[in-house]
Structure 1
Amino acid sequence: MKIYSEITPLNSDDIFVILDHRNAKFDYPVHMHPEYELNLVLNSAGNRIVGDSVAKYGEADLVLIGPNTYHCWEKDDDSKEDTHVVTIQFEQNFINNDLLAKNSLKHIKHLLEHSVRGIEFFGKTRAMASERIQKLPGLSGFESAIEFLTILNLLASSKEQKNLTSVGFSSKPEHSISTRINEVYYHVLENYNDVDLNLSSVARKVNMSDSAFSHFFKKRTNKSFTQFVIDLRIGQASKLLLETSDSIGQICYSCGFNNVSNFNRLFKKNRGSTPRNYRNQFQDHSITSEQVPEIKEEYLRVV
């Protein structure tokens, strides 16, 4: 799949930039950029690509996308003509602001840490945030900065959210307030391609018995350790299927699966299609090189 790198209009003096598109044409191909992006799509329906997730969206869609997570919205042909897209972009270093380390703003930092997997917001949260985001282009100066932080606070405080990409798709481990869980995440991320990676070896690493570690891990993550490893390996495999031309067999073994048959079975169980069909599905969403000149060339380059 061809992926483009977007050069955003954000500069060093900006806290954020806001792009307000009326009658949006959805002519951007699958792309990524190092900035955070909060995207609100109204009066439209179609397919949304975020990382290894392809999903239908309809009427209203609100997604926070972390740095270098590729994404694209595709509008259905029979969708409404008055599509409205409001995009807020802010720099990657925003998360390192000392203010976000303070207790009253730590939840915003946690939100941004999780956004590397893409976060969809729904329900009342989406409705409330949508109203505020649509008013943001009309504000300026201090008032706009306060409203921007208010929107992030609303999103970070909400439980009406879900991650879009699989746990293994990101090159960063999931953030957890538990030091022990973080240690496990890092260890598995570094060793997921080892066919001998198992519960016992990781339990020993964190000085716990197998049964105690199994109970502890499931309580903290709401999934078994075995399923976590499978999810991570499938996520890494998905990434390789989309970003490389490696064969199914090469990807299978490089992600820690011990045979292609088992890989195909687990991939289909978790993704709903075989690895080959999954790759083909995304190829169908890629833009052809002949279409690229329609887009502002100064803002895109192939990666």
Structure 2
Amino acid sequence: MRKVIGAIVGVTLLGLLFAASFLGAFSKPAPHGVPVGVVGPAPVVEQLSATLAKVKPGAFELTGYASAETARQALLDRELDAVLDPQAGKLVVASAAGRTGANVITAAFQGAAQAQGRPLTVEDAAPTAPADAGGIAGMFFTLSLVIPGVALAVLLFQLAPRLGFGARTGALALGALVAGSATAWLAHSVFEVLPGDYWALAAISSGLVLTIALVGSGLVKLLGPGGVGLAALLFVVVGVPASGGPLGARYIPEWYATIGHYLPVGPGAEAIRNVVFFDGAALAWPLTVLGVWALVGLVLLALPGRGRAAAEPQPAGRGSIQPSATAR
């Protein structure tokens, strides 16, 4: 009976942990520090900044641009989330960077324009795919890469506990390439929710799976079964909501967004978004984060640990003598 009660309590606590993490990140979304370019001289930018600060303090960071073309290019380079041209009465957004964010920006600036009695047209310079009208495919696609990454790490230790460093790393790389490429093909060619360059999408997807698998394998080797829970906590329970999900990092609590900035899930999702919709712009930080985490995983795999002993099946025969299961 105690075991039954313990299982019920454990499952309940697990559910509460997931709910607290996801709902805490995604409930009551509010913008903070959203970069918006304004076409016009400094006095116009300063006046608009002061007006917005009274309505939504800290929500937007305005930067002046001399021309609409320069500002638009900054938007496509992922330096801005929107461009406002007061003289032309035009707001340019990029819903592929986050539909919720584009809607929030549109509502804020249309409200300001209406208060001044000015018309404001809206243009979407980088829309989401027609098959992804809700703009949520990116979050679920990223999750479909994170979970196989953790599973690949665990299964390899269970099925091949005696693999050495080189063989295990090679197996993880092969598994990540197959899983990432196949998942990218499904999203790109079958469901058509992530259009653009398939090979770039497959490369980033495989890289994210490999990063998660390397770190997961290192944690399992170092901590045994406890490493599985730690990997799931880092990359699923915390990593997915801290990435901003369908809202974007600028619309969840700032402390959570800061954590997500340094975990691989958020930068991985950003890299996927940038290669699909923005011609590979702003990849330096996401690839750096993935590379650092992959290196951490390699270091953990190179350390002596107890993962093999924990994952290795126990002998069935009586009186048999087993070789040492110490992890290399």
TM-score band (shorter)? under 0.3
Task: Specify which structure has the higher proportion of helix.
Answer: 2
TM-score scaled by structure 2?
0.26
Task: Specify which structure has the higher proportion of strand.
Answer: 1
TM-score scaled by structure 1?
0.27
* Larger CA Rg, structure 1 vs 2: 2
